[in-house]
Amino acid sequence: MKQLRPAVLAGIFVIAGVLSWAGARLWNAYGTLPGVPLAAPIVLAVIAVVLFATALSMRARLKAQRERRPGAKGVEPLMAARAVVFGQASALVAALVAGMYGGVGVFLLTESLDVPARRDQAWYAGGCVLAGAAVIAAALFLEHVLKLPEDDDPTKAPATA
């Protein structure tokens, strides 16, 4: 499994933002722009909290296991792999969603802040961007916690086919 690259996530965010901004301009020219739901930043924030809590729990369990505390509950490899996959998938989707709402938010900020409903939509879009960044940060932290140490043993013979 490969590690997430922040540059890839930033690229997804920027591309989604530009496409969303252009789509919002086009949509607004032909009718009314669909709204940014209030639930969007809330859902992203909940996912960020779940990822961060999972990372803290796994870190504490791994620390207890390394220190060989009696009764320490270890981390099952399959559970760790599932947590990392959940974190990576969440980070990728959060980058896409934050970029999408970020593009809509930029459109709303530049075009129509005089309408109170659109001003609220801009706030919700900004909340989505912040919550998406929190999801990405929590996912990268989870990935860091569950990263396996490098095998730097020079006495070990390389595997043969």
User: Per residue in 40-80, pLDDT tens?
Assistant: 999 999 999 999 999 999 998 888 887 777 777 777 889 88
- SS3 for the chain is CCCCCHHHHHHHHHHHHHHHHHHHHHHHHHCCCCCCCCHHHHHHHHHHHHHHHHHHHHHHHHHHHHCCCCCCCCCCHHHHHHHHHHHHHHHHHHHHHHHHHHHHHHHHHHHCCCCHHHHHHHHHHHHHHHHHHHHHHHHHHHHHHCCCCCCCCCCCCCCCC
Which pLDDT score is estimated for 71?
74
Quick: pLDDT tens for 69-126: 777 777 788 988 999 999 999 999 999 999 999 999 999 888 877 777 888 889 999 9
Q: Is the pTM of the predicted complex or chain greater than 0.75?
A: yes
* Structure confidence by residue, pLDDT tens digits, 11-25: 999 999 999 999 999
Q: What pLDDT is stored for residue 150 in this prediction?
A: 66
What pLDDT is recorded for position 90? Answer: 96
Per-residue confidence (pLDDT) for residue 136, from 0 to 100: 96
What are the extents of the domains in the chain?
Answer: 13-25+78-148
Residues contacting residue 100 through CB under 8 Å, at least 6 positions apart? 16, 17, 19, 20
Q: Per-residue pLDDT averaged across 126-149, rounded?
A: 92
